[in-house]
Structure 1
């Protein structure tokens, strides 16, 4: 964007190539997944966080493509590898990126760039959410927004760790959420905390708030329990519930965590869901579709 605004603010511009520094990787981007964070950035919601940035502003936090160069000290990738990357703070909608090597790993075997691009940002945020809550096998985790990318990954990662998962879903999404591994599915809505308490009267041990309901979902969690949030909500301090805002930048250079996601995708424990692809020139149309809602899986730009 050269100005912030609606989807029409997105357009093609030329930018100079970035120099390759030691410890970095040059990626020829083939696909960039679109996330709600991108639409908010496009609209100018984050200008206060990045006051020194100047136009053009480039959205995107997920990318996949071909490694075309590696800097000194990078030994886990080679030229020609198909790789996936988390791009922090943003900038993935670009034909070529230079990124820290720790933010880039090989794409899952047998997966193309489009599918690979859907994993890094939401997968790592889900990983961070579970890390923060530190639940033990056998404990109960609630997940709101379970049909979305973040929520879906939380459900699947939680099941690999022996947690019991209760998740919300619209009626049309119930089969999807069960297929992701949820043990119990309740109807979504402002009263979801009551629905969760109906299944677990003492409250759940942890909750990942993918639907960004904030204070509405806190009553579902038992005293002393934990909540992970994705938009900065830090709780109301009215109950002894531990609230952990999770920002992917905190884990964006945890190469081991990203590589573990790759292996889980290869094993089928994590599902890569693509809803539709758009040529990069049609990014405005993709943003419009995302903002209309109802998308299951990721929209992806191709380059």
Structure 2
């Protein structure tokens, strides 16, 4: 099979396509013939050495996959089943590959309403948003929710999940993404290049932060008494957590994990028509360096996907 690996840290050019032996499925695992691979900004940081999650090269990046079960050493799936998921995160899943061995519990059946490209784009961003808003945030009917970065990968899914839970959703996004986020269900869109959300938004029940920087700290003033900040980027900031506690607010950091219950919730919501993942662009397997150059540029609308 072909895999995409790197022998050193650096720019997109360090990613190379090579031949490698197929992995073996252990008991309780499946072999998946991969159809599409979702790409995430985290992988660009790992490639460049900004975040030492996988140690030193050589390694194979990637977690988000959608494909067809080729071998099943479990009762949960059979060969031919179409599945998607985020296996093994944060350990290496070696998902930039034509075949991936994955724990059966880290995958669910792909909804017929989603293509493999769409399904592969969903796991990391979808699970981050679901675990942040549903499991931690407890968003429910009538809540006022502020989503920071609503046009991005996690943010555009978070808008839809919050709307599906019955919330009134406000989001920050650039003017160029206003129509996009409103089409996803945002009730209000704030152009962060012209308007300071901290001066215009009030009485928020849950703030969902995907941006980091000073956004989380400045969000303290927009929450109602007892409100809740859920951050996907400042989860280990103990000083910030202490400020929220002192102000009588709740602070939670989300470190995403491959939860099959949440993954099934995402699949069901997509099947019901309440969730769609936006794919800005797809790239063939061989053009992984081009895809990573676009990842490095940031300001994406939704996700990038590699087709196999």
TM over 0.5, shorter chain: yes
Residue 296 of structure 1: how far off its partner (Å): 1.2
Counterpart of 1:79 in structure 2 is 79
Q: Distance in 2 between matches of 1:190 and 1:102?
A: 45
Q: 1:220 & 1:260 partners in 2: Cα distance?
A: 29
Indicate the residue corresponding to 1:224 in structure 2: 226
The offset of 1:285, in angstroms, is: 0.7
Aligned to 2:157: 153
Tell me the TM-score normalized by structure 1: 0.89
The 2-side partners of 1:134 and 1:190 are apart by 31
Distance 1:171 1:180, change over 3 A: same
Q: 2:206–2:229: 8 Å Cα contact kept in structure 1?
A: yes
Which SS does the other structure have where 1:226 is aligned? strand
Q: Does 1:138 align with 2:146?
A: no
Note if contact 1:215-1:236 (Cα within 8 Å) is conserved in structure 2. no
Could you state the TM-score of these two structures normalised by the residue count of structure 2?
A: 0.88
Give how far 1:299 is off.
1.2
Question: 1:270, 1:168 → 2: CA distance?
Answer: 20
Give the Å deviation of 1:115. Answer: 1.3
The 5 A counterparts of 1:254-265 are 254-265=259-270
Displacement after TM superposition at 1:18 (Å): 2.3
1:121-164 deviation per Cα after TM superposition (whole angstroms, max 9, x unaligned): 11111011011122332121100100112111111111111111
Contact 2:144 2:169 in 1 (8 A): yes
Deviations 1:6-25 (A, max 9, x none): 11111113333322112111
Tell me how far apart the structure 2 counterparts of residues 128 and 232 of structure 1 sit (CA, whole Å). 15
Stretch of structure 1 that moved more, 217-226 or 4-13: 217-226
Tell me which residue corresponds to 1:100.
103
**Which consecutive unaligned segments of at least 5 residues does structure 2 have?**
1-5
C-alpha distance in 2 between matches for 1:188 and 1:118:
26
Relative to structure 1, the CA distance from residue 192 to residue 78 in structure 2 (aligned partners, 3 Å threshold; closer, same or farther) is: farther
CA–CA distance in structure 2, aligned partners of residues 191 and 236 of structure 1:
26
- What's 1:41 paired with? 46
Could you say what secondary structure the match of 2:180 adopts?
Answer: helix
Map 1:132-281 → 2, pairs under 5 A: 132-189=136-193, 192-195=196-199, 198-200=200-202, 203-212=203-212, 213-233=215-235, 234=237, 235-238=240-243, 239-249=247-257, 252=258, 254-281=259-286
Q: Residue 153 of structure 2 contacts residue 303 of structure 2 at CA under 8 Å; is this kept in 1?
A: yes
Residue pair 2:114, 2:270 contacting (<8 A) in 1 also: no
Maintained 8 Å contact 1:32/1:300: yes
- In 1: Cα distance, 2:8 partner to 2:280 partner: 28
The root-mean-square deviation of aligned C-alpha atoms, in Å, is 1.9
Is the contact made by 1:192 and 1:217 (CA closer than 8 Å) also made in structure 2? Answer: no
Aligned residue pairs total 291
Q: Contact 1:228/1:244 (CA < 8 Å) preserved in 2?
A: yes
For residue 114 of structure 1, the aligned residue among 104, 112, 117 is: 117
| Residue equivalent to 1:5 | 10
Structure 1's unaligned 5+ residue stretches are none
